[in-house]
Amino acid sequence: MKQNICILGATGSIGTSTLDVIRQHEERFSVFAVAAHSNVERMVQICHQFQPARVVMGTESACEQVKNQCLGMDIEFTYGIEAMSNIAADPQVDQVMAAIMGFAGLAPTLAAIRTGKRILLANKESLVTAGSLFMQEVEKHGAVLLPIDSEHNAIYQCLPQFTEGARGEMLHHVEKVLLTASGGPFRELSKREMSHVTPEQACKHPNWSMGRKISVDSASLMNKGLELIEACWLFDVEPKDIEVVIHPQSIVHSMVSYKDGSVLAQMGNPDMRTPIAYGMAWPERITADVAPLDLMAIAQLDFFAPDYERFPNLSLAADAWYAGGSAMASLNAANEIAVDAFLKGQIGFLDIAEINSQVLEQSEIYSVTGLDVVFEADKIARKAANDLVKHKVYL
Ligand SMILES: NC(=O)c1ccc[n+]([C@@H]2O[C@H](COP(=O)([O-])OP(=O)(O)OC[C@H]3O[C@@H](n4cnc5c(N)ncnc54)[C@H](OP(=O)(O)O)[C@@H]3O)[C@@H](O)[C@H]2O)c1
């Protein structure tokens, strides 16, 4: 039976890779529903190539524009976040690729979880901000959560019994989770040099081709900070159980070190179609058109400790985890505002971590008893971060 896929964030980098994997396996998967924010041109292309049954855009105007360029096609067009939640929860959908960028992905991802589907989780911000609720809902509704972030996908593959459901038992034998990071484009820059970098330089990742927000996060190591929190929620561990390892080649996607001295690593060329294909076909393996790994050509794999002084976001993420409750939502919100301001040229690169730190420090922490708490914490932190961007009082 063909699996119906819903792609939230279909026009983005992960969305594009997902469509590519589907195109390679048309006998197995079909694009049932797609959602994006405002990229009309790309969505029109997707409609013509894949003819989904349902399309949701972020705004009425974007929706109308797509609709007008797809006249005569049998597609239902709607707009808004509620409509995205509806397509994610549609009973005809078998798998949901959660690849909206940022906190905006939380509600539709949760809607999908509540229908007990297979969730391919790329949108790390939804798990970071609402982790406890998110994992409770996964458990309660029997959803199958497959991590798409290459590092978490690697860890998942290196915890074989974990993938079969014996979570606690497996973790008992684990010494450390080794979370790899490329170090980003500024790995070797001094703080002084980093103070002058441009958004274009920050978005030029040495190994991965990604959306602009995650590219900046990779450059500031906030991406690794978010991934640290993501790993804690996914694998029932704490930051002290995780060692971040800088590995510039991005060939080892992460590792698990066991108490008997074994270290399991998952390797491959840096191409998101590998974890996407893994998630979509799990527990089987399918082709993804990814070039086979040529270890002789690579010849050398390097590993270093991260520099927490030049990249303070990494420690901030661990602080937020240990602070608990809404602290992670506050940190994430501050970072989304700060990255956006950096991309618009309103602040410098180093100001991102400064804003994150100040907002985290000044945020009241609430126990996450419901989604309303997460949304409130997000709102307050966004305002605080916007004030800092505007008045630059952190300088
Ligand atoms: N790219 C990677 O290699 C990678 C790896 C691991 C994890 N991830 C995670 O995957 C997610 C997507 O990353 P990406 O690199 O694919 O980002 P991207 O290229 O910037 O794409 C983001 C997607 O989300 C949509 N979107 C943005 N804001 C939205 C909103 N308010 N409502 C609805 N849709 C919205 C965009 O639509 P428009 O195009 O219409 O704006 C686009 O389809 C992020 O959470 C990222 O951390 C990415």
Domain contains 106: yes
65 within domain boundaries = yes
Q: Is 272 in the pocket of ligand 1 (CB under 6 A)?
A: yes
Which of 90, 119, 147 corresponds to the end of one domain?
147
Q: Is 86 in the pocket of ligand 1 (CB under 6 A)?
A: no
> How many angstroms from the chain centroid is the CA of residue 52?
24
Distance CA(280)–CA(42), nearest Å, equals 23
The answer on 228 and 157 residing in a single domain is yes
Compute, in degrees rounded to 10, the torsion defined by CA atoms 123, 126, 128, 134: -120
Specify which residues 242 forms β-bridges with: 177
340 is in which domain, residue-wise?
Answer: 324-389
pTM greater than 0.95 (yes/no)? yes
Residue 31 host element (H or E) = strand 29-35
Find the 12 Cα to ligand 1 centroid distance in Å: 5
Atom index in ligand 1 nearest the CA of residue 126 equals 45
Say if 285 falls within a structural domain: yes
Give the model confidence (pLDDT) of 134-158 as tens digits: 999 999 999 999 999 999 999 999 9
CA of 109 to the centre of ligand 1 (A): 13
Residue 361, in any domain of the structure = yes
Do 92 and 172 sit in the same domain of this protein? no
- The Cα–Cα gap between 26 and 301 comes to 36
Query: Do 185 and 160 fall into the same domain?
Result: yes
pLDDT digits (tens, 9 = 90+) for 323-373: 999 999 999 999 999 999 999 999 999 999 999 999 999 999 999 999 999
182 CA from centroid of ligand 1 (Å): 20
Within-domain flag for 49: yes
Residue 355 lies in a domain: yes
Q: State the DSSP H helix or E strand holding residue 89, giving kind and residue range, or none if neither.
A: helix 81-89
Number of residues in the chain: 395
Q: Please say if the pLDDT value at position 170 is more than 80.
A: no
- 306 and 201 in a common domain: yes
Q: What span, in angstroms and rounded, lies between the C-alpha atoms of 201 and 186?
A: 9
Distance 105 CA to ligand 1 centre (A): 9
Q: 218 alpha carbon to ligand 1 midpoint, in Å? A: 14
Same domain membership, residue 385 and residue 260? no
Q: Is the same domain home to 306 and 171?
A: yes
pLDDT at 391: 87
Q: Is the confidence at residue 173, as pLDDT, over 60?
A: yes
Indicate if 143 and 273 belong to the same structural domain: no
Is the pLDDT assigned to residue 104 strictly greater than 70?
A: yes
Query: Residue 80 pLDDT more than 90?
Result: yes
Tell me how far apart the alpha carbons of residues 176 and 314 are, in angstroms, rounded to a whole number.
17
The domain spanning residue 351 has which CATH number?
1.10.1740.10
Final residue of a structural domain among 91, 114, 147: 147
125 and 11 both lie in a single domain: yes
Q: 196-212: per-residue pLDDT in tens?
A: 999 999 999 888 889 99
CB of 91 closer than 8 Å to CB of 117: no
Is the CB of residue 36 less than 8 Å from the CB of residue 57? yes
- Please give the tally of structural domains in the chain: 3
Q: Provide the pLDDT confidence category of residue 78 given band limits of 50, 70 and 90.
A: very high
Does residue 329 contact residue 378 with C-beta atoms inside 8 Å? yes
Four-residue CA torsion sign, 212, 76, 80, 225: negative
Q: Are residues 169 and 242 in the same domain?
A: yes
Q: Which of 291, 315, 339 is the last residue of a domain?
A: 315
**Could you give the C-alpha distances from 109 to 9, 138, 175, 251, 371, in angstroms and in order?**
11, 11, 32, 29, 13
237, 296: one domain: yes
Residue 371, both tokens: 């989604």
Q: What angle do CA 95, 99, 103 make, to 5 degrees?
A: 120
Is the Cβ–Cβ distance between 254 and 227 less than 8 Å? no
Could you give the strand order of the β-sheet that contains 263-267, starting from the edge strand earlier in sequence? 242-246, 174-181, 252-258, 263-267
The whole-number pLDDT of residue 114 equals 98
**Best residue among 63, 84, 214 to mutate for probing ligand 1, ranked by most atoms within 8 Å of CB:** 214
Q: Are residues 347 and 300 in the same domain?
A: no
Q: With respect to residue 395, please indicate whether it lies within any of the assigned structural domains.
A: no
240 and 118 in one domain? Answer: no
> Does residue 394 form part of some domain?
no
Q: From the CB of 109, is ligand 1 less than 6 Å away?
A: no
Distance CA(271)–CA(9), nearest Å, equals 18
Q: 283: cis peptide before it, omega within 30°?
A: yes
Confirm or reject: Cβ of 14 under 6 Å from ligand 1.
yes
